[in-house]
Amino acid sequence: MGKKRIVQKSPEELLKEREKVEAGMKKEVKVRTLPKGKEGRIYIFSSYNNTIITLTDSKGSVLTWASAGSIGFKGTKKATPFAASKVAEAISFAAKKIGVDKVAVFMKGIGSGRESAIRSLATRGLDIISIKDITPVPHNGCRPPKVRRV
């Protein structure tokens, strides 16, 4: 096989490579923080499999989000009310850190974590302005498939 040759670069070459890498990177990283006492929105999406909570500012730009899966729950435990309350706890902690005190809550979905998430948000000290259900409901849209016969 022979000896392996290790190529050593001079300091000038290393500086040139570093400048190339830094030029390709984004210089500005946006960190969104709001003044103390600002209003925000919390969107709770609760399905049969998971609960996802998103915190946005009043315009709708996402500040942070959390889900039962991202916290560490796996499988069917993600859909439980306990997991939803833990997600709401994480979001309320992040909201306090960002500076959001008053929130309007928008719920979507038919999962079991809807009410427990709202209760947990309220107990963690967030001032809930309004609660609105935005679950999509069909008004006799598409025709359902034929009944399956076995």
Domain coordinates in residue numbering, the chain: 43-133
pLDDT tens, N- to C-terminus, the chain (150 residues): 667 777 777 888 878 776 766 665 544 444 466 666 689 999 999 999 999 999 999 999 999 999 999 999 999 999 999 999 999 999 999 999 999 999 999 999 999 999 999 999 999 999 999 999 999 998 988 888 999 998
CA–CA distance from 60 to each of 11, 40, 44, 56, 117 (Å)?
Answer: 48, 8, 14, 5, 20
Here the tokens at position 44 are 């709770």
In CATH terms, the fold of domain 43-133 is: Nucleotidyltransferase; domain 5 (3.30.420)
